[in-house]
Chains A and B, each alone.
Chain A
Amino acid sequence: MGSLRRVFHIARNDLRIMVGDKAFFFWSLVFPMLFIVLFGLLYRASDNAPAVAELTVVNLDEGRWGGYFLDKVKSPTIALKVVDSEPAEYSRLLVLPADFSARIEARRDQALAFKKRQDASTQAAARVETRLYQAIARVIGELVVYGDGDLAKFLDGHAEFRDLVQVKSRFPEDTVTVVPSGFDHSIPGTTIQFIMMMVIIYGGITVMEDRKKGVLGRMLVSPLTKTEVFLGKLAGRWLMGLVQALILFVVGQIPPLNLNLGSVPLALLVIAVFAMAMAALSVFIGSLCRKEDLIIGLAVLLANIFAGLGGCWWPIEIVPPGVRTAAMVSPAYWAMDALHKLRFFQGDFGDILPNLGVLLALAAALTVVAGRTFKIRE
């Protein structure tokens, strides 16, 4: 019991020193918030905006089919802008050639030029392109049904195309009821990334400096064993990660962020186990390296690789299957996956148990390695 108290005394003292550092609030609040806002806005833009996708049409058609085709393209989510010549500025451009009607009436196939600006929203472009394919399907469908005679007279009267098959979309029952916001994606991702960066950099450098300056050696003069010093340092870095997560989760409750974690206690449990693994990694790196720059470099390298692979920066679903399999070596992957289960599927303890198991095993393995390399003196 006394041993445990001494371990937590060391951890609490390390945490107090860290919170007293001026740069702490930059690393734990200011910089992560910039990331959260930036990625949150990007995710949100991809999810919802633009609500109406713009399509500029150069209608050079000399007949009536051009107008008829554009009527089929019209939709509440598409803003059609018909012009006479190609403008300098556009997001998406469709060109209906002068012989558009003539070719249809002669039953000769044609390819319409559809230009998408590289820097415009890819989602809006996909929405417009799909709508164009749907319009083509409607026109060809009508031609197949009613187009057995003179197509020049086709537009003078025929029955309307009916959408017999309709499509309804929803989320699975007992999950979310509204589309998750960009911040619901960016806050967990940023939190995981900054726990890695902060714990490895701060934790690693302070272990190294304490050793180099003889602080660790002096601690052994007090009634502390080497194991207690090691566990105290480990617990201190674990608390760093927890404090970092708590700060971001609390700030995440402020509008317009309105973070929803699903189950808060389970989300904190995931973070706690993840932070434990990172704490062990930081003590290991701090014991191994003798230079601050080396620790910073390693921390930036590892945190960025783990974050990129683990789905902290971009949705893991867009990653090629091979990279997705490789991502399983990243602790961030298991933490992000567990947080997704909690947030998006209202998951319970049983759902995240495999993730917790992997993270705990990693934390245990890293703790053993860190314990073996932990040195009191150079």
Chain B
Amino acid sequence: MRRLLLVLGNDVRRHLRSPLAILIYMAIPMVMTGLIGIIFAPRAEEAQLPPIQVLLVDHDKALASKLVLGTFDVDQMKKMFRVTVTDEADGRDKMKRGRASAMVVIPEGFTLDLLDAKTTTLTVVKNPAEQFLPDVVEEFVTTLAVMLSGAVQAFAAEVRGVRAMLEGPLDTFPWETLGPELGKAQKKMVAARAYLDPMLIRLKADETRAAGARTRFTRTDLFSIMLPGMAVMFLLFIVQTLMRDIISEREDGKLRRMMTTPLRPLELVGARLLGGWVMGLAVLLVMVAFGTLIFRAHWGPFGYFLLLGAAASFWTAAFFGCFHAFVRNRNQAGALGAPIILAFSLFGGSMMNPEAMPKAFLAVGVATPNRWFIDGAALVRDGRFPAASLAVLVLSGLVLTALAVPALRRRTSV
């Protein structure tokens, strides 16, 4: 046991002397989490999306088109849309250069058609390179169209008066009839206030989770959900790197020299597996500490998380012990190791929220440590004990250890 600990201590010191690769692997999950967090985290402002660039082509240049332009200028809408008035050729050029999500075209005679209560059409030209924002513009314009239709119908009589004013010469207009008409309009506007100020019917939107339980999703929540997936992915990379000594020492001839000392193969194998486990857990805890400090991520009860981290590190050490026992050389280990880790991560939910993944990917994900660690971390975050994750990781880790130890012992004997 003393010799095992001596080898383990020496391994730890050796890796601490050249920690650059490990530090880079530890930095990757932090950088990725930060980048995704900046882009997807809920913002304090009401608008969840960046301001949408909208181009407006006004072929009408009259009262109704000014009204359309004015609706984009309301304070609430200004947060959501940035409107630029332009012509169609310039609009197309701007969309091509990624400067706009959509172009709203107001047809010629738009105002006159509305005054005549004739059907008219607004065109939304959508940027084909974009996927989400053009649809938002289309839906907004559709809602605006409903409101305009309502307004025209509400003030139909007054609208006809305005139409007559626009058509006839000024000196033939019956000004004396305008007074009662304006009076009626005023009454309608006063009556409309009963429905519009405040709005008679409003929506109170809420985001909910399963069973309708309410929740408020914050930036910290996003980081807390993402970090375990990233951490377990890079735990796999780091433990693989640390345990590659098993192969490289044999190829470099160091193993032969070590075996001339009073060190038994089983002690060396034990030191390597224990080293992978202990160093893996240490690295995971450092990532957790950084995640807490930088992103204010919350992990749940520390004792539960420590158990889960220990189980995941144990599984990882056992897996790479087994892996290095069966691969032929360092090149093969290098060529197969990274693809296996990336496949685990892709199917296991480290690269994407499992809820957004196709069902086939989810089914394969059950066979990965990433999935069990991520599921366990979610339970711990909610203050629950991750019994299933612990059981799966520990039991399958024991099976892998049982396979790894005799195979590694055989390959260590010289």
Contact = CB atoms under 8 A, between A and B. Distances in A.
Interface of A: 21-23, 26-27, 30-31, 34-35, 37-38, 41-43, 46-47, 69, 86, 88-90, 93, 104, 107, 109-119, 123, 126-127, 129-130, 132-134, 136-145, 147-148, 161-173, 175-176, 180, 185, 201, 205, 291-294, 296-298, 300-301, 304-305, 308-309, 314-321, 323-324, 337, 340-341, 343-345, 347, 351
Given A165-B145, A347-B96, 14 more contacts: A34-B343, A41-B358, A115-B205, A116-B207, A117-B210, A126-B135, A137-B150, A144-B196, A164-B114, A170-B123, A300-B237, A317-B127, A320-B39, A344-B129
B70 interface: no
B24 A297 contact: yes
30 contacts: A23-B335, A42-B352, A104-B200, A110-B200, A111-B203, A114-B203, A115-B205, A118-B207, A118-B215, A130-B140, A134-B142, A137-B150, A141-B150, A144-B191, A162-B119, A163-B145, A164-B118, A165-B114, A165-B146, A166-B121, A167-B124, A168-B121, A170-B123, A293-B241, A297-B25, A297-B237, A301-B28, A304-B32, A308-B32, A341-B129
A321 B195 CA distance: 38
A176 B127 CA distance: 10
Nearest to B103: A172
Nearest to A326: B38
Contacts of A180: 128
Contacts of B211: 88
A335 to B, nearest CB: 14
B44 interface: no
B39 A300 contact: no
B21 interface: yes
A261 to B, nearest CB: 13
Interface string B332-366: 00111011001100100000100111100100000
Contacts of A165: 114, 119-122, 144-146, 148-149, 152
A63 to B, nearest CB: 14
Contacts of A321: 50-51
Given A38-B361, A316-B98, A130 B28 contact: no
B202 interface: yes
B251 interface: no
Nearest to B340: A26
Nearest to B39: A319
B207 A140 contact: no
A341 to B, nearest CB: 6
Contacts of A123: 132, 135
Interface residues of B, number: 100
Contacts of B143: 130, 133-134, 137
Given A118-B207, A293-B21, A320 B50 contact: yes
Contacts of B125: 169-172
A113 B132 contact: no
Nearest to B208: A115
A294 B131 contact: no
A123 to B, nearest CB: 7
A47 B126 CA distance: 13
B128 A304 contact: no
Contacts of B136: 126
A109 B25 CA distance: 57
B339 A31 contact: yes
Residue among A115, A123, A137, A301 with the highest chain B CB neighbour number at 10 A: A137
A315 B154 CA distance: 42
B335 to A, nearest CB: 4
Contacts of A43: 131
Interface in B178-205: 188, 191-192, 194-196, 198-205
Given A110-B201, A292-B334, A169 B133 contact: no
Contacts of A164: 114, 117-120, 148-149, 152-153
B2 interface: no
Contact of B204 (A113, A175, A344): A113
B400 to A, nearest CB: 22
A14 to B, nearest CB: 16
Interface string B99-114: 0010100000000001
B31 interface: yes
A89 to B, nearest CB: 8
Contacts of A316: 98
A161 B196 CA distance: 18
Give 6 nearest A-B pairs by CB, closest first: A141-B150, A297-B24, A23-B335, A293-B21, A165-B145, A344-B129
A337 B21 contact: no
A142 B38 CA distance: 44
A301 B31 contact: yes
Contact of A104 (B133, B140, B201, B215): B201
A240 B36 CA distance: 29
Contact of A38 (B38, B135, B209, B352): B352
B391 interface: no
B198 A109 contact: yes
A26 B339 contact: yes
B119 A166 contact: yes
B196 A344 contact: no
